[in-house]
Amino acid sequence: MRSRRSLSSSNRRRSLRPRHTAVAGVAALTAALSACSGGGSGSGDDAKAEKPKVSVNLTGSQAKAGVPVTVKLAGEDAKLKDVAVADAEGTKLAGKVAADGRSWTSARKAAPGTSYTVRATTDKGGEAKKAFKTAAPEKVNKVTITPGSSLKTVGVAQPLSIVFDHPVKNKAEVEKHLKVTTSNDTTGSWGWIKNYDGKDRVDWRPREYWKSGTKVELDAQLNGVDSGSDGGWFVRDYDTAVTVGKNQVVKVNLDNKTATLTRDGKTVKRVPMSAGTPGGEKASWGGTSVLMAKEGTINMRSETVGLGDSYDKMVDYSMRLTWSGMYAHAAPWNAAYFGNTNHSSGCVGMSTSDASWLYGQVQVGDPFEVSGSGSKGTPDPGNGYGEWNLSWADWQSKSAVR
């Protein structure tokens, strides 16, 4: 059995399969808890339990969402034995009876627009039932999580990334509901950044590259969390799970014009390439970028990246490195420059055979480390996965939970 540890802001637990988790609230109930009747041995009279009173903090059809459910037992000798709160699908809300047996509180908050049923039992055998519904949300916030469920294996630089449809004002509250679990207690931290499209985004990055074989789970327990003004409520949970694959790094050297694939620190193959023309917008990004996707054959047009009408080509073996349009790909039209001159519009170009080979070797999440002179600096954290260009201390400072 593998041990797991729940990580705090720098060491968290997560799992991420989309799922609808119940959150519950309880209607105030004053209910007769019918005790088991026992035959009187002497008088023959039936012993009857008093009618205990149970109060709950949520009531009616417009109950407040975003608060825990609390059930209290008043004025009786009995103690609460169990309280079950479930949504319409039968999913129960976890909670705990207090040590004195007089109250029960849910571990999660009531979600908006959700119907709940409540069943309370006492140690005297009594039972009460009630139903209530929370008010519908005026606005719903949704998320996109990477890696998604279709990606099972990732490279050593792949972060966990969550992009929000609407702005998130309550960043600390949201972050507290994001739990990461790893198979080897990997140290990491959440960091809030702006995605390339301007949306709020939060990534969980390890302190150093992942160790090969690490199993990672993200559990975004967001159902019932308010993201703040202009953001809206979350009305579901999300989760995902991935395994870290081969320990691979692609080292792009702008000075000697080569791209080298290393595996477990050893050189697998070095190929000649031509990167972006130094000076101006056609220069390549330096620092570390992460392979975002293997896109295959795509149409690349210069106007989409602000370079006018300088090119419009179908390009093979395209490997995306940034949102702003930096790729590694086949560039047979640039063959005269491979290994001797950086003369592209910003991408890392190589022969069709070399690009085909590299495309078959790399994994989504592999780091491309670009070194040497002539780059245009490092990409912003939200331009792909540029957070690796920040120091560990700088990355930690982007967490909303201190």
Same domain for 252 and 201, yes or no, is no
**Cβ(325)–Cβ(311) below 8 Å:** no
Domain boundary at 225, 244, 263, which?
A: 244
Whole-number pLDDT of residue 4: 40
Residue 120, domain member (yes or no): yes
pLDDT in the model for residue 312: 75
3-class state of residue 21 by DSSP: coil
Is 28 within a domain? no
Question: Are both 256 and 387 inside the same structural domain?
Answer: yes
- Judge whether 9 lies within some domain: yes
Residues 240, 253 within the same domain: no
pLDDT of residue 77: 81
Amino acid at site 115: S
* Apex 170 CA angle, 383 and 221, nearest 5: 85
CATH number at residue 235: 2.60.40.3710
Tell me what pLDDT residue 126 has.
86
CB atoms closer than 10 angstroms to residue 384 = 25
Other beta carbons within 10 Å of 90 = 8
Helical H runs in 29-133? none
The position carrying tokens 């979600």 is 111
Q: How far apart are CA 374 and CA 348, in angstroms?
A: 13
Do 260 and 371 lie in one domain? The reply is yes
Under DSSP, the state recorded for 137 is P
Do 252 and 337 fall into the same domain?
Answer: yes
Structure confidence at residue 193 (pLDDT)? 98
Query: Which of 213, 244, 275 represents a domain boundary (last residue)?
Result: 244
Q: Which helix (H) or strand (E) holds 392?
A: helix 392-396
Burial, 129: exposed, middle or buried (Cβ in 10 Å; 0-12, 13-18, 19+)?
exposed
Q: Write the CA distances from 397 to 192, 203, 366, 391, 400, integer angstroms.
A: 9, 13, 25, 10, 8
Q: How far apart are CA 258 and CA 261, in angstroms?
A: 10
Say if residue 18 is preceded by a cis peptide, omega within 30 of 0: no
Q: What is the pLDDT of residue 339?
A: 98
Picking from 113, 133, 153, the residue at the C-terminal end of a domain is: 133
* Structural domains of the chain, count: 3
Q: Is residue 206 part of a domain?
A: yes
| Residues 70, 62: Cα–Cα separation, whole Å | 17
Identify whether residues 347 and 369 lie together within a single domain: yes
Structural domain span for residue 312: 248-392
Tell me the pLDDT of the chain (402 aa) as tens digits: 444 433 333 444 333 344 443 333 333 333 333 333 333 333 444 445 557 678 889 999 999 999 999 999 987 788 999 999 999 999 899 999 999 999 999 999 999 999 999 999 999 888 888 889 999 999 999 999 999 989 999 999 999 999 999 999 999 999 999 999 999 999 999 999 999 999 999 999 999 999 999 999 999 999 999 999 999 999 999 999 999 999 999 999 999 999 999 999 999 999 999 999 999 889 999 999 999 999 999 987 766 666 666 667 899 999 999 999 999 999 999 999 999 999 999 999 999 999 999 999 999 999 999 999 999 999 999 999 999 999 999 999 999 998
Same domain, 105 and 89: yes
Domain presence at residue 30: no
Please give the pLDDT value at position 91. 87
Which of 249, 242, 253, 276 shows the shortest CA–CA distance to 263?
249
